Structure 1
């Protein structure tokens, strides 16, 4: 887990999912978060928490499933 704290490093989402396998931790990519919060729209802001702003999200479960399958497909 300490590896994730290092600044200026990026991680492949599949590597992170492998790292947290067996734990109850969800990993989302930045693009999905931006879509789900509508680019952190003020209309979706629910309030302020101890770690910063809290936003309502709208995620299409089918889209997430398709993206996950496409990301793991090795047909090409």
Structure 2
């Protein structure tokens, strides 16, 4: 789908430290979206560790970059 492709391309914006983080979280969402669809089609159970990996990345962002993760994620959702 075109929307998926355009979102994937937007994940390659690495001109700043903040955009690298935004790209990481966008890639998490895209991977989750496509993987869940594939798992459903192939009748697999989607693994629960996905949420744990995302949470780990969010924790690292909060610990080493900024406590304001919500601001980054709300910007990223646009």
TM-score in terms of structure 2 length? 0.29
Greater strand fraction, Structure 1 or Structure 2: 1
Greater helix fraction, Structure 1 or Structure 2: 2
Which structure is larger by alpha-carbon Rg, 1 or 2? Answer: 1
